[in-house]
Amino acid sequence: MNFVEQIKQPIISEIELFEEKFKGAMLSKVPLLNRITYYIVRRKGKQMRPMFVFLVAKMVSDGGFDERTYRGASVVELIHTATLVHDDVVDESNRRRGFFSLNAIWKNKIAVLVGDFLLSRGLLLAVKHEEFELLKIMSTAVQDMSEGELLQIEKARKLDITEKVYFDIIRKKTATLIAGCCASGANSVGEDKNTVETMRLFGEKAGIAFQIKDDLFDYTQSTFIGKPTGIDIREQKMTLPLIYTLNNVSKKEKNNIINIVKNHHENDKKVAELIELVKENGGLNYARKVMIEYRNEALEILNQFDDNEARRSLELLLNYVVNRKK
């Protein structure tokens, strides 16, 4: 049994039933859409976000949930899938999870429309069942993700990002959806607003740790990860290891780093040089330290709840977030 299967143990039957419900949620009367959504379902990821929904729901309710939780997980996964489709268009990426991306096969126009369809289908699922709190949680997440992406694009052009702005970007771009998963899990079993907010905060901290780990992959040679080393530098994205390095080197080295990111980000030799500079100046160690701090803060929130199988799986999931190889 691998680590992800171990995490899923308390919700294994729920995940299997969810997969069937998720397929049904994407069905359309348009044959082309059905062919594309079938392709999406076949190349599913680790289902981390539905896992957060189900495990949180089970933890706070001490074991039980109903159709509302499945609905919450479906809405989350529909919106997450929509954002991945749109991301591949924005990033001009031809691969996703080891397969060709939708835009690589069906081109950008169709990919954008499919992303729009998935997004609207997710929001309509909440409206249809009058799940207005779920709708509010997930609409806020969509708004935050859009703002986060635009803020990152703006800062990539100016290269004036600070650590504070970096955390604002990843809180909006990545952490908000995981926060939404956890809030919707608590909301689906009728928990009060304080508990829903506590779980939202737990998800936000887990999501920030998740994104820092993703940023660290950019500086690591690995056959596991789904993107080549140095891609963030090539896209002029200022991530935590790089920001720390900029703040802790001489003015001459700082100017050299900015010059590489601004003018030589497509030069393999220069990118490799910058990766070594970040490693030598403690950028990776600092980012790892901050990531573990966020992981620990999320664990402290879990400790407020009674010990049960779901809570232990959430603890495993947090450790997986910071220790994963891809």
Domains of the chain: 3-323 (1.10.600.10)
Question: Residue 54 in contact with residue 14, Cβ under 8 Å?
Answer: yes
- pLDDT tops 90 at residue 90: no
Determine the pLDDT at residue 1: 64
pLDDT at 62: 76
pLDDT of residue 283: 95
- 168-189 pLDDT per residue, tens: 999 999 999 999 999 999 999 9
pLDDT surpasses 70 at 50: yes
Decide: 315 and 299 in contact? Cβ < 8 Å: yes
Mean pLDDT in residue range 135-150: 94
The answer to whether residue 227 scores a pLDDT higher than 70 is no
**How far is Cα 109 from Cα 203, in angstroms, rounded to an integer?**
33
pTM: 0.91
Ramachandran area for residue 92 (φ above 0: left; ψ -120 to 50: alpha; else beta)? left
Confidence tier at 228 by pLDDT (50, 70, 90): low
Q: Averaged over 304-309, what is the pLDDT?
A: 94
Please report, rounded to a whole number, the percentage of residues in the chain having pLDDT higher than 70.
Answer: 97
How many whole angstroms separate alpha carbon 144 and alpha carbon 171? 8
CA distance 138 to 76: 7
pLDDT in the model for residue 225? 45
d(CA 325, CA 134): 32
Check pLDDT > 70 for residue 274.
yes
pLDDT 10s digits, 123-132: 999 999 999 9
Q: In angstroms, rounded to a whole number, what is the distance separating the alpha carbons of residues 144 and 136?
A: 12
